[in-house]
Chain A
Amino acid sequence: MGLLTNLKDSISRVTDGLFAAEEPKRIGIYGPPNAGKTTLANRIARDWTGDAVGPESHIPHETRRARRKENVEIERNGRTVTIDIVDTPGVTTKVDYKEFLDHDIEKEDAVRRSREATEGVAEAMHWLREDVDGVIYVLDSTTDPFTQVNTMLIGIIESQDLPVLILANKTDLPGTDVKQIANAFPQHETIPLSALEGENMDEVYTKIAEYFG
């Protein structure tokens, strides 16, 4: 009997372990180009894993392929939330290579970047449909949030019943207007932050744990 009991115990330990090890939620960081998505992704990844996700840049469409950082463990109030972060290319309805020419990029390279950025948007939209369990929507708080892209994306996210956290980024810059973003999406909570300076990240992590834990 002792042998059977031992066997039963080990089986139940294995099955308990299987069910306890819940798949980490895949959280997509979405938003228009240059909102600070990669800066935020890097901030989160560095704070909790020590690694970065990808290069940050002031040039729009620097992120042209979705990048994932897996198993980011965020500790809040004594419990740990494990998420996969997906940093996505900025979503837009128009891509023009001329945007890149202002950043000292040659035309040939600019045209290539433009094509890659377009493919990146297609990929980001695909991930939103297929592969994301929750969304962190990043907006530049110094710009007008009432745009077609923002309205459409938030609408899609809502229609999918995905949990969404709206972040008003770049609060370190003059001209920041968090209220304007809160007014644009009153049905959602808006959290101000500066991903670059690391301002208000504590609240961001608390909300991530609350929304996606």
Chain B
Amino acid sequence: MPHQCTECGRTFPDGSKEMLSGCPDCGGNKFQFKPNGVDDENAVAADPTGSTEPPTPTDSTEPRGSTDPKPTRSEPKPTPSEPKPTQSEPKPTAERSASSERVSDIDNEDTAQASARSDVVSPDELDRASQEVPPAADESAEPGSGSDPDSGQRPGIDDLRDELNAQFESIRIVSPGKYELNLMELYDRQEYIISLQEDGRYVIEMPDAWGVNDE
């Protein structure tokens, strides 16, 4: 679910057509792109249990007193050899998941998505991003979280570019400053891209937004 509405935080799966006519919930037309697996390394490191079980939003809200007599919320156990990693310890990502009420397909939930939801681009930042991109930052920029110190472990900009290309067959970013355009695809699309960012962000104009300012 690499797309997130910057207005209400709703996320959409890769290739979702739902967002093509704007966010169904708030009508917003700005989305943040968050490729799958972006923060995996760090998220796993932050998870003391090393659990591979996808965090579910219900974990921290459902009463599970019968199966889990000891609520361990206040004492995370940083032991990798923990034999039963399935207890309902609130992981940071799970908490974030729980805070979102609109998670529809939690099966695909991963840490990148959880992070994306908690890390919404501010309107100011989006505005700035649509006007200028410091080219020096293009090579190293990563979408979403800018607070990640573990830069050596992050997926490269090439991976992100591949992800973006998979989304927009109409414009292929070969490398910074080099583009290939599919004219027919651009022509056929009802919505169109009005701002490209090398770091995985983009702004598209939605058909629903047209005519809003018409007199």
Residues of chain A touching chain B, judged by Cβ–Cβ distance below 8 Å, are 91-98, 107-108, 110-112, 114-115, 118-119, 121-123, 125-126, 128-129, 149, 152-153, 156
Contacts and interface: CB of A to CB of B under 8 A. Distances in A.
Given A94-B179, A94-B181, A114-B177, A119 B196 contact: yes
B180 A111 contact: no
B172 to A, nearest CB: 10
A57 to B, nearest CB: 19
Given A94-B180, A118-B181, A126-B186, 20 more contacts: A91-B183, A93-B183, A94-B181, A97-B178, A98-B177, A107-B135, A111-B138, A111-B177, A114-B177, A118-B196, A119-B195, A122-B170, A122-B171, A122-B181, A122-B193, A125-B183, A125-B192, A126-B205, A129-B187, A156-B187
27 contacts: A92-B181, A93-B180, A93-B182, A94-B178, A97-B176, A98-B178, A111-B135, A111-B176, A114-B177, A114-B179, A115-B177, A115-B196, A115-B198, A118-B179, A118-B181, A118-B196, A119-B194, A119-B195, A119-B196, A121-B181, A121-B183, A122-B194, A125-B183, A125-B186, A125-B192, A126-B189, A128-B187
A160 to B, nearest CB: 10
Interface string B110-151: 000000000000000000000011011010000000000000
A114 B205 CA distance: 20
Contacts of A152: 183-184
Nearest to A114: B177
Contacts of A153: 183
B181 A95 contact: yes
Contacts of A92: 181
Contacts of A149: 183
Interface of B: 132-133, 135-136, 138, 170-171, 176-184, 186-189, 192-196, 198, 205
A107 to B, nearest CB: 8
Contacts, number: 79
Contacts of B180: 93-94
A21 B171 CA distance: 41
A129 B138 CA distance: 32
B171 to A, nearest CB: 6
A115 B192 CA distance: 15
A164 to B, nearest CB: 15
A116 B81 CA distance: 53
Contacts of A123: 192, 194
Nearest to B207: A130
Contacts of A107: 135, 177
Contact of B193 (A91, A95, A119): A119
Contacts of B171: 118, 122
A96 B187 contact: no
Contacts of A129: 187-188
Please provide the 8 A-B residue pairs with the shortest distance between their CB atoms, ordered closest to farther.
Answer: A97-B177, A111-B177, A125-B186, A126-B192, A114-B177, A118-B179, A95-B179, A125-B187
A133 B166 CA distance: 33
A114 B181 CA distance: 12
Nearest to A124: B186
Contacts of A91: 183
Nearest to B198: A115
Contacts of B194: 119, 122-123
